[in-house]
């Protein structure tokens, strides 16, 4: 009986197709909660980074392959502690879940109008033929939100930013991954000014990378580029 109870609390994901796959994680629909996703670490990524061939110092981190979960949970908690009314534009973290693919991180799904996963900034940029006026307005609001809540950003790219709604509002851009202090010496945590400078720098680089990597859907094949 105890075994049956234990297995009942484990979310079964292994036989289901993920909604999305990143470099490090697979993103699944939460089997019991329509508005939540469960993220699990990709086995191949864990093996490459934290397995036999991985860098030795990676293995010193106590949470190892789950260190990213700790970072995101901590940053979400920090935003709630300091700027609860600010409605920081980062995904709402719900908690942890045991799954048949290892420890899972549960967060609220940012949704498109039809309830599916919200489109990424990269998708919107391609579809709208570049930085449209609407896109610029929404991006400016997003950057303002990050700065107003002093969010620490580690990894900003156009696939970590999605545009949609969740229980807190929207439609708006939300950072769904890549937030939280990464450095051993927590310089962003120590200085708000330094953190704002860092966020603006990452934002600028993210935009440049977007232009380099994402072709515009309205462009012809004879495009001369930007
Ligand atoms: N809360 C969410 N709401 C909507 N979509 C999401 C959410 N979390 C993840 N996604 C989608 O799933 C994709 C992969 O998720 P995530 O970025 O967390 O994976 P990752 O492997 O950590 O990413 P990376 O490739 O940046 O390392 C995202 O690019 C996004 O499209
Ligand atoms: Mg990502």
**Which residue from 23, 24, 27, 174 has its CB within 8 A of the most atoms of ligand 1, so it is best to mutate?**
27
224 belongs to a structural domain: no
Position 1 pLDDT exceeds 80? no
Phi, psi (deg, nearest 5) at residue 53:
-85, -5
Q: For the segment 178-189, what is each residue's pLDDT rounded down to a tens digit?
A: 999 998 889 899
218 belongs to a structural domain: no
Q: What is the pTM assigned to this prediction?
A: 0.93
CA of 4 to the centre of ligand 1 (A): 32
226 belongs to a structural domain: no
- The confidence score (pLDDT) of residue 222 equals 42
**Which residue from 159, 170, 175, 206 has its CB within 8 A of the most atoms of ligand 1, so it is best to mutate?**
159
Position 169 pLDDT exceeds 70? yes
219 belongs to a structural domain: no
Domain count, the chain: 1
Let me know: does 166 contact 109? Beta carbons within 8 Å: yes
């Amino acid at each position: 009986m105890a075994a049956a109870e234990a297995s009942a609390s484990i979310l079964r994901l292994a036989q289901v197709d993920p909604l999305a796959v990143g470099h490090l994680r697979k993103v699944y629909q939460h089997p019991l909660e329509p508005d939540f996703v469960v993220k699990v670490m990709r086995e191949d990524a864990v093996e490459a980074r934290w397995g036999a061939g991985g860098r030795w110092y990676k293995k010193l981190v106590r949470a190892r392959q789950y260190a990213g979960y700790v970072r995101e949970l901590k940053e979400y908690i920090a935003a709630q502690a300091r700027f609860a009314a600010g409605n920081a534009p980062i995904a709402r973290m719900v908690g942890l879940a045991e799954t048949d693919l290892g420890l899972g991180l549960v967060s609220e799904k940012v949704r498109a109008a039809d309830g599916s996963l919200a489109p990424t900034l990269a998708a919107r940029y391609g579809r709208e033929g570049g930085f449209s006026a609407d896109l610029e307005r929404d991006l400016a609001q997003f950057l303002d939100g990050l700065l107003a809540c002093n969010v620490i950003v580690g990894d900003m790219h156009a696939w970590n930013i999605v545009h949609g709604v969740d229980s807190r509002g929207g439609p708006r851009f939300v950072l769904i991954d890549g937030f939280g202090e990464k450095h051993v010496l927590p310089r962003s945590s120590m200085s708000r000014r330094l953190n704002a400078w860092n966020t603006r720098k990452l934002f600028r680089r993210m935009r440049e990378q977007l232009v380099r990597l994402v072709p515009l859907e309205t462009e012809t094949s004879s495009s001369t580029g930007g």
